[in-house]
Chain A
Protein backbone atom coordinates (compact mmCIF):
# COMPACT_ATOMS: atom_id res chain seq x y z
CA UNK A 1 0.00 0.00 0.00
CA UNK A 2 1.49 3.30 -1.13
CA UNK A 3 0.00 6.60 -0.01
CA UNK A 4 1.25 9.87 -1.38
CA UNK A 5 -0.27 13.11 -0.17
CA UNK A 6 0.42 16.73 -0.99
CA UNK A 7 3.80 15.95 -2.52
CA UNK A 8 5.82 18.92 -3.75
CA UNK A 9 9.28 19.06 -5.24
CA UNK A 10 11.06 22.05 -6.73
CA UNK A 11 14.35 22.28 -8.59
CA UNK A 12 15.29 25.90 -8.16
CA UNK A 13 12.54 27.88 -9.89
CA UNK A 14 11.04 24.84 -11.59
CA UNK A 15 8.16 23.15 -9.79
CA UNK A 16 8.46 19.51 -10.87
CA UNK A 17 5.78 18.07 -8.59
CA UNK A 18 3.05 20.34 -7.31
CA UNK A 19 0.77 18.71 -4.77
CA UNK A 20 0.49 15.14 -6.01
CA UNK A 21 -1.90 13.02 -3.96
CA UNK A 22 -2.96 9.46 -4.68
CA UNK A 23 -2.77 5.99 -3.21
CA UNK A 24 -2.01 2.59 -4.70
CA UNK A 25 -3.73 -0.32 -2.92
CA UNK A 26 -2.43 -3.86 -2.44
CA UNK A 27 -3.40 -6.56 -4.91
CA UNK A 28 -3.81 -4.12 -7.74
CA UNK A 29 -1.83 -2.47 -10.48
CA UNK A 30 -1.77 1.30 -10.52
CA UNK A 31 -0.55 3.06 -13.62
CA UNK A 32 1.13 6.43 -13.48
CA UNK A 33 0.42 8.03 -16.81
CA UNK A 34 1.67 11.32 -18.10
CA UNK A 35 3.61 13.03 -20.87
CA UNK A 36 7.37 13.45 -20.66
CA UNK A 37 8.34 15.98 -18.01
CA UNK A 38 5.02 15.67 -16.17
CA UNK A 39 6.71 14.72 -12.89
CA UNK A 40 6.35 10.91 -12.95
CA UNK A 41 9.99 10.10 -12.41
CA UNK A 42 10.41 12.79 -9.75
CA UNK A 43 7.38 11.42 -7.88
CA UNK A 44 8.86 7.91 -8.01
CA UNK A 45 12.27 9.16 -6.86
CA UNK A 46 10.76 10.80 -3.81
CA UNK A 47 8.78 7.63 -3.19
CA UNK A 48 12.00 5.59 -3.39
CA UNK A 49 13.55 7.65 -0.60
CA UNK A 50 16.47 8.98 -2.63
CA UNK A 51 14.98 12.43 -3.10
CA UNK A 52 13.68 14.65 -0.31
CA UNK A 53 10.26 16.20 -0.83
CA UNK A 54 9.80 19.92 -0.23
CA UNK A 55 6.34 19.24 1.17
CA UNK A 56 3.93 16.34 1.62
CA UNK A 57 4.28 12.80 2.88
CA UNK A 58 4.88 9.42 1.33
CA UNK A 59 3.94 6.24 3.21
CA UNK A 60 4.67 2.66 2.27
CA UNK A 61 2.69 0.15 4.33
CA UNK A 62 2.43 2.90 6.91
CA UNK A 63 6.18 3.62 7.05
CA UNK A 64 7.08 7.26 6.43
CA UNK A 65 9.63 7.37 3.62
CA UNK A 66 10.77 10.90 4.46
CA UNK A 67 11.37 10.06 8.13
CA UNK A 68 13.11 6.70 7.71
CA UNK A 69 13.97 6.00 4.06
CA UNK A 70 16.04 2.90 4.83
CA UNK A 71 13.16 1.17 6.68
CA UNK A 72 10.78 2.04 3.84
CA UNK A 73 13.23 0.83 1.20
CA UNK A 74 13.17 -2.63 2.75
CA UNK A 75 9.43 -2.78 1.95
CA UNK A 76 9.84 -1.78 -1.70
CA UNK A 77 11.24 -3.28 -4.86
CA UNK A 78 12.09 -0.53 -7.30
CA UNK A 79 13.15 -0.54 -10.92
CA UNK A 80 14.31 3.03 -11.39
CA UNK A 81 14.42 5.07 -14.55
CA UNK A 82 18.15 4.42 -14.92
CA UNK A 83 19.12 0.88 -14.03
CA UNK A 84 22.74 0.32 -14.96
CA UNK A 85 24.44 -3.00 -14.34
CA UNK A 86 28.00 -4.03 -13.45
CA UNK A 87 29.55 -5.27 -16.71
CA UNK A 88 31.90 -7.74 -15.00
CA UNK A 89 29.23 -9.48 -12.92
CA UNK A 90 26.81 -12.18 -14.06
CA UNK A 91 23.02 -11.92 -13.68
CA UNK A 92 23.19 -14.41 -10.81
CA UNK A 93 25.77 -12.25 -9.04
CA UNK A 94 23.68 -9.12 -9.57
CA UNK A 95 20.67 -10.77 -7.98
CA UNK A 96 22.74 -12.17 -5.12
CA UNK A 97 24.39 -8.80 -4.43
CA UNK A 98 21.08 -7.05 -3.96
CA UNK A 99 19.68 -9.98 -1.98
CA UNK A 100 22.64 -9.79 0.39
CA UNK A 101 22.21 -6.03 0.70
CA UNK A 102 18.65 -6.78 1.81
CA UNK A 103 20.08 -9.16 4.40
CA UNK A 104 18.60 -12.34 2.96
CA UNK A 105 19.96 -15.63 4.24
CA UNK A 106 21.76 -17.95 1.85
CA UNK A 107 19.14 -20.64 1.35
CA UNK A 108 16.26 -18.34 0.60
CA UNK A 109 18.51 -16.22 -1.59
CA UNK A 110 19.57 -19.26 -3.63
CA UNK A 111 15.97 -20.39 -4.04
CA UNK A 112 14.76 -16.92 -4.94
CA UNK A 113 17.61 -16.36 -7.43
CA UNK A 114 16.83 -19.62 -9.23
CA UNK A 115 13.12 -18.74 -9.29
CA UNK A 116 13.70 -15.25 -10.74
CA UNK A 117 16.11 -16.53 -13.37
CA UNK A 118 13.61 -19.09 -14.61
CA UNK A 119 10.59 -16.74 -14.40
CA UNK A 120 12.35 -14.12 -16.51
CA UNK A 121 13.81 -16.68 -18.91
CA UNK A 122 17.43 -15.85 -18.17
CA UNK A 123 18.67 -19.45 -17.75
CA UNK A 124 20.84 -19.38 -20.86
CA UNK A 125 22.74 -16.31 -19.66
CA UNK A 126 22.60 -16.62 -15.88
CA UNK A 127 26.34 -17.18 -15.44
CA UNK A 128 27.67 -15.01 -18.22
CA UNK A 129 28.98 -11.54 -17.56
CA UNK A 130 26.34 -8.98 -18.47
CA UNK A 131 28.79 -7.11 -20.69
CA UNK A 132 27.26 -7.26 -24.17
CA UNK A 133 23.76 -8.21 -23.04
CA UNK A 134 20.85 -6.94 -25.10
CA UNK A 135 18.67 -4.17 -23.73
CA UNK A 136 15.94 -6.67 -22.95
CA UNK A 137 18.26 -8.97 -21.05
CA UNK A 138 19.64 -6.03 -19.07
CA UNK A 139 16.18 -4.90 -18.07
CA UNK A 140 15.35 -8.42 -16.95
CA UNK A 141 18.45 -8.55 -14.76
CA UNK A 142 17.62 -5.14 -13.27
CA UNK A 143 14.06 -6.30 -12.64
CA UNK A 144 15.20 -9.55 -11.04
CA UNK A 145 17.55 -7.83 -8.61
CA UNK A 146 14.84 -5.30 -7.71
CA UNK A 147 12.45 -8.12 -6.82
CA UNK A 148 14.91 -10.42 -5.06
CA UNK A 149 13.63 -9.74 -1.54
CA UNK A 150 9.98 -10.45 -2.50
CA UNK A 151 8.79 -6.92 -1.85
CA UNK A 152 5.09 -6.32 -1.18
CA UNK A 153 5.32 -2.97 -2.96
CA UNK A 154 6.73 -2.92 -6.46
CA UNK A 155 7.54 0.33 -8.26
CA UNK A 156 8.57 0.23 -11.90
CA UNK A 157 9.58 3.34 -13.82
CA UNK A 158 8.77 2.72 -17.50
CA UNK A 159 9.76 -0.95 -17.30
CA UNK A 160 8.98 -1.79 -20.93
CA UNK A 161 10.75 1.22 -22.40
CA UNK A 162 12.68 0.13 -25.46
CA UNK A 163 11.95 -3.59 -25.04
CA UNK A 164 11.05 -5.92 -27.88
CA UNK A 165 7.75 -7.79 -28.02
CA UNK A 166 8.94 -10.90 -26.17
CA UNK A 167 10.61 -9.01 -23.38
CA UNK A 168 7.61 -6.71 -23.01
CA UNK A 169 5.39 -9.76 -22.68
CA UNK A 170 7.64 -11.24 -20.02
CA UNK A 171 7.49 -8.02 -18.01
CA UNK A 172 3.70 -7.80 -18.35
CA UNK A 173 3.29 -11.40 -17.25
CA UNK A 174 5.46 -10.66 -14.25
CA UNK A 175 3.31 -7.66 -13.30
CA UNK A 176 0.17 -9.83 -13.49
CA UNK A 177 1.84 -12.45 -11.29
CA UNK A 178 2.75 -9.83 -8.71
CA UNK A 179 -0.85 -8.64 -8.58
CA UNK A 180 -2.11 -12.20 -8.10
CA UNK A 181 0.33 -12.53 -5.21
CA UNK A 182 -1.35 -9.52 -3.59
CA UNK A 183 1.43 -7.02 -4.20
CA UNK A 184 0.90 -3.34 -4.64
CA UNK A 185 2.27 -2.55 -8.10
CA UNK A 186 2.84 1.02 -9.22
CA UNK A 187 4.26 1.57 -12.65
CA UNK A 188 4.76 4.54 -14.86
CA UNK A 189 4.36 4.50 -18.58
CA UNK A 190 3.37 6.61 -21.50
CA UNK A 191 2.17 3.67 -23.57
CA UNK A 192 -1.63 3.64 -23.63
CA UNK A 193 -2.03 0.09 -24.79
CA UNK A 194 0.06 -1.18 -21.92
CA UNK A 195 -1.71 0.88 -19.30
CA UNK A 196 -5.15 -0.16 -20.50
CA UNK A 197 -4.14 -3.82 -20.66
CA UNK A 198 -2.63 -4.00 -17.19
CA UNK A 199 -3.96 -1.35 -14.86
CA UNK A 200 -6.76 -1.58 -12.35
CA UNK A 201 -6.57 2.14 -11.89
CA UNK A 202 -4.81 4.98 -13.60
CA UNK A 203 -3.34 8.15 -12.15
CA UNK A 204 -2.88 10.79 -14.84
CA UNK A 205 -0.21 13.36 -14.08
CA UNK A 206 0.40 16.57 -16.02
CA UNK A 207 2.39 19.66 -15.09
CA UNK A 208 3.25 18.14 -11.70
CA UNK A 209 -0.38 17.59 -10.68
CA UNK A 210 -2.81 14.68 -10.65
CA UNK A 211 -5.41 15.56 -13.26
CA UNK A 212 -7.41 12.36 -13.02
CA UNK A 213 -7.48 9.15 -11.00
CA UNK A 214 -9.74 6.18 -11.63
CA UNK A 215 -10.30 2.87 -13.38
CA UNK A 216 -9.84 2.99 -17.18
CA UNK A 217 -13.59 2.76 -17.72
CA UNK A 218 -14.32 5.56 -15.28
CA UNK A 219 -11.90 7.81 -17.15
CA UNK A 220 -13.55 6.92 -20.44
CA UNK A 221 -16.93 7.86 -19.03
CA UNK A 222 -15.69 11.08 -17.52
CA UNK A 223 -14.14 12.38 -20.67
CA UNK A 224 -16.70 10.89 -23.02
CA UNK A 225 -14.02 9.32 -25.21
CA UNK A 226 -13.84 5.69 -26.16
CA UNK A 227 -10.17 5.49 -27.12
CA UNK A 228 -7.85 5.68 -24.11
CA UNK A 229 -5.39 7.76 -26.07
CA UNK A 230 -8.07 10.38 -26.67
CA UNK A 231 -8.92 10.17 -22.97
CA UNK A 232 -5.32 10.87 -22.13
CA UNK A 233 -4.96 13.75 -24.56
CA UNK A 234 -8.08 15.40 -23.24
CA UNK A 235 -7.04 14.88 -19.61
CA UNK A 236 -3.54 16.27 -19.84
CA UNK A 237 -4.92 19.28 -21.63
CA UNK A 238 -3.05 19.01 -24.86
CA UNK A 239 -6.28 19.97 -26.66
CA UNK A 240 -7.08 23.01 -24.56
CA UNK A 241 -5.60 25.12 -21.78
CA UNK A 242 -4.08 23.14 -18.92
CA UNK A 243 -6.62 22.70 -16.09
CA UNK A 244 -5.93 25.09 -13.23
Chain B
Protein backbone atom coordinates (compact mmCIF):
# COMPACT_ATOMS: atom_id res chain seq x y z
CA UNK B 1 0.00 0.00 0.00
CA UNK B 2 2.79 2.43 0.89
CA UNK B 3 4.87 3.00 -2.21
CA UNK B 4 8.29 4.48 -1.61
CA UNK B 5 7.95 8.18 -0.95
CA UNK B 6 11.65 8.75 -1.45
CA UNK B 7 11.14 11.17 -4.40
CA UNK B 8 8.78 13.30 -2.29
CA UNK B 9 11.40 13.66 0.44
CA UNK B 10 14.13 14.25 -2.13
CA UNK B 11 12.17 17.00 -3.88
CA UNK B 12 11.37 18.78 -0.63
CA UNK B 13 14.98 18.67 0.60
CA UNK B 14 16.25 19.98 -2.73
CA UNK B 15 13.74 22.85 -2.69
CA UNK B 16 14.71 23.63 0.90
CA UNK B 17 18.40 23.37 -0.01
CA UNK B 18 18.17 25.63 -3.04
CA UNK B 19 16.39 28.27 -0.95
CA UNK B 20 19.11 28.08 1.68
CA UNK B 21 21.63 30.70 0.64
CA UNK B 22 24.29 29.14 2.84
CA UNK B 23 24.06 25.77 1.15
CA UNK B 24 24.18 27.21 -2.36
CA UNK B 25 27.04 29.53 -1.43
CA UNK B 26 29.03 26.70 0.13
CA UNK B 27 28.70 24.60 -3.02
CA UNK B 28 29.87 27.47 -5.21
CA UNK B 29 32.70 28.63 -2.97
CA UNK B 30 34.07 25.18 -2.27
CA UNK B 31 33.98 24.38 -5.97
CA UNK B 32 35.76 27.61 -6.86
CA UNK B 33 38.65 27.48 -4.38
CA UNK B 34 40.40 24.51 -5.98
CA UNK B 35 40.42 25.66 -9.61
CA UNK B 36 41.29 29.23 -8.63
CA UNK B 37 44.25 28.14 -6.53
CA UNK B 38 45.47 25.67 -9.13
CA UNK B 39 45.12 28.31 -11.81
CA UNK B 40 46.99 30.86 -9.71
CA UNK B 41 49.84 28.47 -8.93
CA UNK B 42 50.17 27.37 -12.55
CA UNK B 43 50.22 30.90 -13.87
CA UNK B 44 52.86 31.81 -11.27
CA UNK B 45 54.95 28.88 -12.44
CA UNK B 46 54.51 29.74 -16.10
CA UNK B 47 55.35 33.36 -15.37
CA UNK B 48 58.57 32.35 -13.65
CA UNK B 49 59.48 30.12 -16.58
CA UNK B 50 58.86 32.99 -19.00
CA UNK B 51 60.99 35.35 -16.91
CA UNK B 52 63.87 32.86 -17.15
CA UNK B 53 63.47 32.59 -20.92
CA UNK B 54 63.38 36.32 -21.50
CA UNK B 55 66.50 37.42 -19.78
CA UNK B 56 67.86 40.93 -19.34
CA UNK B 57 71.60 40.82 -18.90
CA UNK B 58 73.21 43.78 -17.12
CA UNK B 59 76.73 44.13 -18.45
CA UNK B 60 79.46 46.27 -16.92
CA UNK B 61 82.23 47.16 -19.35
CA UNK B 62 80.33 46.33 -22.51
CA UNK B 63 82.68 48.59 -24.45
CA UNK B 64 85.59 46.19 -23.80
CA UNK B 65 83.94 43.27 -25.66
CA UNK B 66 81.68 44.67 -28.42
CA UNK B 67 81.63 41.35 -30.34
CA UNK B 68 80.42 39.38 -27.30
CA UNK B 69 77.76 41.98 -26.56
CA UNK B 70 76.55 41.94 -30.14
CA UNK B 71 76.39 38.14 -30.06
CA UNK B 72 74.36 38.23 -26.83
CA UNK B 73 71.95 40.74 -28.32
CA UNK B 74 71.32 38.41 -31.25
CA UNK B 75 70.23 35.51 -29.02
CA UNK B 76 66.46 35.15 -28.79
CA UNK B 77 64.88 36.49 -25.61
CA UNK B 78 68.09 38.18 -24.53
CA UNK B 79 68.58 41.89 -24.13
CA UNK B 80 71.68 43.63 -22.86
CA UNK B 81 71.45 46.61 -20.53
CA UNK B 82 74.08 48.72 -18.88
CA UNK B 83 75.19 47.25 -15.59
CA UNK B 84 74.99 49.04 -12.22
CA UNK B 85 77.89 51.10 -10.89
CA UNK B 86 78.45 48.75 -7.95
CA UNK B 87 77.57 45.31 -9.26
CA UNK B 88 78.29 43.29 -6.10
CA UNK B 89 76.22 45.56 -3.90
CA UNK B 90 73.38 45.57 -6.41
CA UNK B 91 73.21 41.77 -6.37
CA UNK B 92 73.54 41.58 -2.59
CA UNK B 93 70.71 44.09 -2.22
CA UNK B 94 68.64 42.11 -4.71
CA UNK B 95 68.41 44.97 -7.19
CA UNK B 96 69.81 42.61 -9.82
CA UNK B 97 69.68 38.82 -10.13
CA UNK B 98 72.97 38.62 -11.98
CA UNK B 99 75.55 41.03 -13.40
CA UNK B 100 78.22 40.33 -16.03
CA UNK B 101 81.51 42.22 -15.60
CA UNK B 102 83.87 42.32 -18.56
CA UNK B 103 87.50 42.85 -17.64
CA UNK B 104 89.38 45.90 -19.01
CA UNK B 105 91.99 43.73 -20.70
CA UNK B 106 89.35 41.53 -22.33
CA UNK B 107 90.03 42.48 -25.98
CA UNK B 108 93.81 42.36 -25.68
CA UNK B 109 93.74 38.86 -24.12
CA UNK B 110 91.05 37.79 -26.56
CA UNK B 111 93.19 38.93 -29.48
CA UNK B 112 96.12 36.88 -28.12
CA UNK B 113 93.86 33.84 -27.78
CA UNK B 114 94.47 33.87 -24.04
CA UNK B 115 91.50 33.20 -21.67
CA UNK B 116 89.74 36.53 -21.36
CA UNK B 117 88.24 37.39 -17.97
CA UNK B 118 84.52 37.64 -17.29
CA UNK B 119 82.93 37.87 -13.84
CA UNK B 120 79.46 36.57 -13.16
CA UNK B 121 78.11 38.21 -10.01
CA UNK B 122 75.33 36.14 -8.41
CA UNK B 123 73.91 35.12 -5.05
CA UNK B 124 73.76 31.29 -4.79
CA UNK B 125 71.32 31.41 -1.87
CA UNK B 126 68.64 33.02 -4.01
CA UNK B 127 66.34 30.35 -5.32
CA UNK B 128 64.38 32.66 -7.62
CA UNK B 129 67.51 33.96 -9.41
CA UNK B 130 69.00 30.54 -9.98
CA UNK B 131 67.40 29.80 -13.36
CA UNK B 132 68.41 33.21 -14.67
CA UNK B 133 72.02 32.83 -13.51
CA UNK B 134 72.19 29.41 -15.11
CA UNK B 135 70.82 30.81 -18.35
CA UNK B 136 73.41 33.58 -18.49
CA UNK B 137 76.19 31.12 -17.69
CA UNK B 138 74.99 28.82 -20.50
CA UNK B 139 74.94 31.74 -22.93
CA UNK B 140 78.49 32.67 -22.10
CA UNK B 141 79.65 29.06 -22.34
CA UNK B 142 78.00 28.75 -25.74
CA UNK B 143 79.82 31.86 -26.95
CA UNK B 144 83.06 30.44 -25.58
CA UNK B 145 82.42 27.14 -27.39
CA UNK B 146 81.67 28.85 -30.67
CA UNK B 147 84.79 30.98 -30.51
CA UNK B 148 86.98 28.01 -29.60
CA UNK B 149 85.60 26.06 -32.57
CA UNK B 150 86.43 28.99 -34.90
CA UNK B 151 89.97 29.25 -33.48
CA UNK B 152 90.59 25.56 -34.01
CA UNK B 153 89.31 25.73 -37.58
CA UNK B 154 91.64 28.72 -38.15
CA UNK B 155 94.53 26.48 -37.08
CA UNK B 156 93.37 23.66 -39.34
CA UNK B 157 92.07 21.42 -36.56
CA UNK B 158 88.61 19.94 -36.50
CA UNK B 159 86.64 21.35 -33.52
CA UNK B 160 85.37 17.81 -32.86
CA UNK B 161 88.86 16.91 -31.59
CA UNK B 162 88.40 19.32 -28.74
CA UNK B 163 85.04 17.82 -27.79
CA UNK B 164 85.73 14.41 -26.30
CA UNK B 165 82.27 14.21 -24.78
CA UNK B 166 78.99 15.21 -26.21
CA UNK B 167 76.57 15.75 -23.33
CA UNK B 168 72.88 15.67 -24.10
CA UNK B 169 70.44 17.09 -21.58
CA UNK B 170 67.37 15.06 -20.82
CA UNK B 171 64.98 17.64 -19.38
CA UNK B 172 63.54 16.67 -16.02
CA UNK B 173 63.23 20.24 -15.02
CA UNK B 174 62.12 21.58 -11.69
CA UNK B 175 59.20 23.20 -13.46
CA UNK B 176 57.77 19.80 -14.24
CA UNK B 177 58.16 18.69 -10.67
CA UNK B 178 56.40 21.78 -9.50
CA UNK B 179 53.64 21.23 -12.03
CA UNK B 180 53.20 17.70 -10.65
CA UNK B 181 53.03 19.08 -7.13
CA UNK B 182 50.32 21.52 -8.12
CA UNK B 183 48.45 18.70 -9.85
CA UNK B 184 48.52 16.77 -6.57
CA UNK B 185 46.24 19.41 -5.05
CA UNK B 186 43.52 18.64 -7.57
CA UNK B 187 42.22 15.38 -6.03
CA UNK B 188 42.18 17.01 -2.60
CA UNK B 189 40.14 19.95 -3.86
CA UNK B 190 37.69 17.71 -5.69
CA UNK B 191 37.14 15.58 -2.58
CA UNK B 192 36.79 18.75 -0.50
CA UNK B 193 34.20 20.05 -2.97
CA UNK B 194 32.20 16.87 -2.35
CA UNK B 195 32.46 17.22 1.42
CA UNK B 196 31.51 20.89 1.47
CA UNK B 197 28.85 20.62 -1.24
CA UNK B 198 26.56 18.26 0.68
CA UNK B 199 27.37 19.58 4.14
CA UNK B 200 24.51 22.06 4.55
CA UNK B 201 21.73 19.74 3.44
CA UNK B 202 23.18 16.81 5.38
CA UNK B 203 23.23 18.90 8.54
CA UNK B 204 20.01 20.80 8.01
CA UNK B 205 17.94 17.73 7.19
CA UNK B 206 19.10 15.76 10.25
CA UNK B 207 20.44 17.79 13.18
CA UNK B 208 18.54 20.84 11.90
CA UNK B 209 15.34 18.81 11.72
CA UNK B 210 15.87 17.68 15.33
CA UNK B 211 16.65 21.20 16.50
CA UNK B 212 13.52 22.63 14.84
CA UNK B 213 11.39 19.83 16.28
CA UNK B 214 10.15 19.00 12.82
CA UNK B 215 11.44 15.42 12.85
CA UNK B 216 8.60 14.04 14.96
CA UNK B 217 5.84 15.41 12.70
CA UNK B 218 7.72 14.20 9.62
CA UNK B 219 7.96 10.65 10.95
CA UNK B 220 4.23 10.64 11.75
CA UNK B 221 3.59 10.24 8.05
CA UNK B 222 3.06 6.72 6.76
CA UNK B 223 6.48 6.50 5.16
CA UNK B 224 9.28 4.06 5.83
CA UNK B 225 12.27 5.53 7.65
CA UNK B 226 14.46 4.23 4.86
CA UNK B 227 12.62 6.42 2.32
CA UNK B 228 13.01 9.45 4.56
CA UNK B 229 16.72 8.92 5.18
CA UNK B 230 17.53 7.91 1.60
CA UNK B 231 15.66 10.97 0.27
CA UNK B 232 17.70 13.26 2.49
CA UNK B 233 20.89 11.44 1.56
CA UNK B 234 20.23 11.74 -2.17
CA UNK B 235 19.44 15.45 -1.85
CA UNK B 236 22.75 16.07 -0.07
CA UNK B 237 24.55 13.82 -2.56
CA UNK B 238 23.19 15.75 -5.53
CA UNK B 239 24.54 18.99 -4.06
CA UNK B 240 27.88 17.32 -3.34
CA UNK B 241 27.97 15.82 -6.84
CA UNK B 242 27.16 19.22 -8.35
CA UNK B 243 30.09 20.66 -6.40
CA UNK B 244 32.42 17.99 -7.79
CA UNK B 245 31.24 18.41 -11.40
CA UNK B 246 31.52 22.19 -11.16
CA UNK B 247 34.95 22.05 -9.56
CA UNK B 248 36.38 19.38 -11.88
CA UNK B 249 35.14 21.20 -14.99
CA UNK B 250 36.66 24.47 -13.83
CA UNK B 251 39.94 22.71 -13.03
CA UNK B 252 39.98 21.35 -16.58
CA UNK B 253 39.30 24.78 -18.07
CA UNK B 254 42.11 26.23 -15.98
CA UNK B 255 44.55 23.50 -16.90
CA UNK B 256 43.76 23.78 -20.58
CA UNK B 257 44.62 27.46 -20.47
CA UNK B 258 47.94 26.85 -18.79
CA UNK B 259 50.76 25.93 -21.24
CA UNK B 260 51.31 22.55 -19.61
CA UNK B 261 53.72 21.54 -22.37
CA UNK B 262 56.04 24.39 -21.53
CA UNK B 263 55.95 23.24 -17.94
CA UNK B 264 57.06 19.81 -19.00
CA UNK B 265 53.78 17.89 -18.75
CA UNK B 266 53.72 14.97 -21.13
CA UNK B 267 50.09 15.15 -22.20
CA UNK B 268 47.08 17.42 -22.47
CA UNK B 269 43.99 17.06 -20.34
CA UNK B 270 40.83 16.67 -22.35
CA UNK B 271 37.29 15.33 -22.30
CA UNK B 272 38.25 11.68 -21.67
CA UNK B 273 40.31 12.63 -18.62
CA UNK B 274 37.49 14.83 -17.34
CA UNK B 275 35.01 11.99 -17.76
CA UNK B 276 37.28 9.59 -15.87
CA UNK B 277 37.81 12.11 -13.07
CA UNK B 278 34.05 12.65 -12.75
CA UNK B 279 33.40 8.90 -12.76
CA UNK B 280 35.87 8.66 -9.90
CA UNK B 281 34.90 11.67 -7.85
CA UNK B 282 31.11 11.99 -8.18
CA UNK B 283 30.64 8.83 -6.06
CA UNK B 284 32.68 10.58 -3.37
CA UNK B 285 29.75 13.00 -3.02
CA UNK B 286 27.40 10.11 -2.26
CA UNK B 287 29.87 8.72 0.27
CA UNK B 288 30.65 12.02 2.01
CA UNK B 289 26.94 12.87 2.28
CA UNK B 290 26.12 9.51 3.83
CA UNK B 291 28.91 9.95 6.36
CA UNK B 292 27.76 13.47 7.18
CA UNK B 293 24.12 12.45 7.53
CA UNK B 294 25.08 9.57 9.80
CA UNK B 295 27.21 11.74 12.09
CA UNK B 296 24.86 14.75 12.06
CA UNK B 297 21.93 12.56 13.15
CA UNK B 298 23.63 12.11 16.53
CA UNK B 299 23.65 15.87 17.04
CA UNK B 300 20.74 17.61 18.73
CA UNK B 301 21.44 20.92 17.07
CA UNK B 302 22.90 22.45 13.95
CA UNK B 303 25.81 23.85 15.93
CA UNK B 304 26.65 20.55 17.56
CA UNK B 305 26.61 18.85 14.17
CA UNK B 306 28.93 21.47 12.72
CA UNK B 307 31.51 20.88 15.42
CA UNK B 308 31.54 17.15 14.61
CA UNK B 309 31.59 17.69 10.87
CA UNK B 310 34.33 20.29 11.12
CA UNK B 311 36.58 17.51 12.36
CA UNK B 312 35.38 15.30 9.54
CA UNK B 313 36.59 17.91 7.05
CA UNK B 314 40.13 16.91 7.98
CA UNK B 315 39.51 13.54 6.34
CA UNK B 316 39.89 14.67 2.70
CA UNK B 317 43.15 16.47 3.52
CA UNK B 318 44.67 13.43 5.23
CA UNK B 319 45.94 11.65 2.08
CA UNK B 320 47.54 14.92 0.98
CA UNK B 321 49.45 15.04 4.26
CA UNK B 322 50.41 11.39 4.02
CA UNK B 323 51.44 11.52 0.36
CA UNK B 324 54.99 12.89 0.87
CA UNK B 325 55.77 10.17 3.45
CA UNK B 326 53.91 7.29 1.92
CA UNK B 327 53.73 7.12 -1.88
CA UNK B 328 50.06 7.15 -2.69
CA UNK B 329 50.19 7.13 -6.47
CA UNK B 330 50.66 4.01 -8.55
CA UNK B 331 48.97 1.83 -5.92
CA UNK B 332 45.93 0.33 -7.67
CA UNK B 333 45.08 -1.87 -4.67
CA UNK B 334 43.96 1.32 -2.89
CA UNK B 335 41.11 1.69 -5.41
CA UNK B 336 38.32 0.16 -3.26
CA UNK B 337 39.10 2.39 -0.26
CA UNK B 338 37.04 5.59 -0.32
CA UNK B 339 39.04 8.87 -0.31
CA UNK B 340 42.47 7.18 -0.21
CA UNK B 341 41.69 5.27 -3.40
CA UNK B 342 40.29 8.37 -5.08
CA UNK B 343 43.34 10.34 -4.18
CA UNK B 344 45.61 7.70 -5.60
CA UNK B 345 43.68 7.16 -8.83
CA UNK B 346 43.16 10.85 -9.61
CA UNK B 347 46.85 11.50 -9.01
CA UNK B 348 47.72 8.71 -11.45
CA UNK B 349 45.25 10.05 -13.99
CA UNK B 350 46.63 13.59 -13.83
CA UNK B 351 50.14 12.15 -14.05
CA UNK B 352 49.23 10.90 -17.51
CA UNK B 353 48.66 7.24 -16.67
CA UNK B 354 45.83 5.46 -18.42
CA UNK B 355 43.49 3.97 -15.83
CA UNK B 356 41.96 0.58 -16.61
CA UNK B 357 38.16 0.78 -16.61
CA UNK B 358 37.80 -1.95 -14.00
CA UNK B 359 39.55 0.25 -11.43
CA UNK B 360 36.95 2.97 -12.00
CA UNK B 361 34.16 0.44 -11.55
CA UNK B 362 35.72 -1.07 -8.41
CA UNK B 363 36.16 2.40 -6.92
CA UNK B 364 32.59 3.50 -7.70
CA UNK B 365 30.96 0.28 -6.51
CA UNK B 366 32.84 0.08 -3.23
CA UNK B 367 32.30 3.77 -2.51
CA UNK B 368 28.56 3.51 -3.16
CA UNK B 369 28.35 0.33 -1.06
CA UNK B 370 30.04 2.10 1.85
CA UNK B 371 27.54 4.95 1.42
CA UNK B 372 24.56 2.59 1.45
CA UNK B 373 25.82 0.91 4.63
CA UNK B 374 26.03 4.33 6.29
CA UNK B 375 22.51 5.22 5.09
CA UNK B 376 21.25 1.92 6.55
CA UNK B 377 22.93 2.73 9.86
CA UNK B 378 21.34 6.19 9.80
CA UNK B 379 17.94 4.58 9.15
CA UNK B 380 18.44 2.52 12.32
CA UNK B 381 19.15 5.73 14.23
CA UNK B 382 15.90 7.20 12.90
CA UNK B 383 14.06 4.36 14.67
CA UNK B 384 15.53 5.24 18.05
CA UNK B 385 13.26 7.11 20.45
CA UNK B 386 16.13 9.13 21.88
CA UNK B 387 16.83 10.49 18.35
CA UNK B 388 13.19 11.22 17.47
CA UNK B 389 12.26 12.83 20.77
CA UNK B 390 15.60 13.74 22.30
CA UNK B 391 16.00 17.48 22.08
Contacts and interface: CB of A to CB of B under 8 A. Distances in A.
16 contacts: A48-B220, A50-B389, A70-B222, A70-B224, A71-B222, A73-B221, A74-B1, A80-B217, A80-B220, A84-B212, A84-B213, A85-B214, A101-B9, A102-B221, A103-B2, A129-B19
A102 B220 contact: no
A93 B385 CA distance: 27
A51 B385 contact: yes
Contacts of B209: 84
B216 A70 contact: no
Interface in A80-119: 80-89, 93, 97-98, 100-103
Contacts of B214: 83-86
Interface string B364-391: 0000000000000000000001001101
Interface of A: 45, 48-52, 70-71, 73-74, 76, 78, 80-89, 93, 97-98, 100-103, 129, 142, 145-146
A132 to B, nearest CB: 14
Contact of B217 (A52, A84, A87, A89): A84
Contacts of B219: 50
A45 B388 CA distance: 11
Contact of A86 (B16, B221, B222): B16
B224 A82 contact: no
Nearest to A87: B212
B225 to A, nearest CB: 9
B222 A102 contact: yes
B222 A73 contact: yes
Interface string B304-341: 00000000000000000000000000000000000000
Nearest to B386: A11
Given A50-B216, A82-B216, A100 B8 contact: yes
B208 to A, nearest CB: 9
Contacts of A129: 19
B357 interface: no
Given A45-B389, A88-B19, A103 B3 contact: yes
Given A89-B16, A97-B12, A103-B2, A83 B213 contact: yes
Contacts of A80: 216-217, 220
Given A71-B1, A84-B217, A101 B222 contact: yes
A106 to B, nearest CB: 12
B15 interface: yes
B54 interface: no
A52 B5 contact: no
B217 A83 contact: yes
Contact of A101 (B1, B8, B20, B385): B8
Interface string B34-70: 0000000000000000000000000000000000000
A63 to B, nearest CB: 11
Given A82-B216, A100-B8, A102-B222, 8 more contacts: A76-B220, A80-B220, A82-B213, A88-B16, A100-B5, A101-B8, A102-B221, A146-B217
B221 to A, nearest CB: 4
Contacts of A49: 220
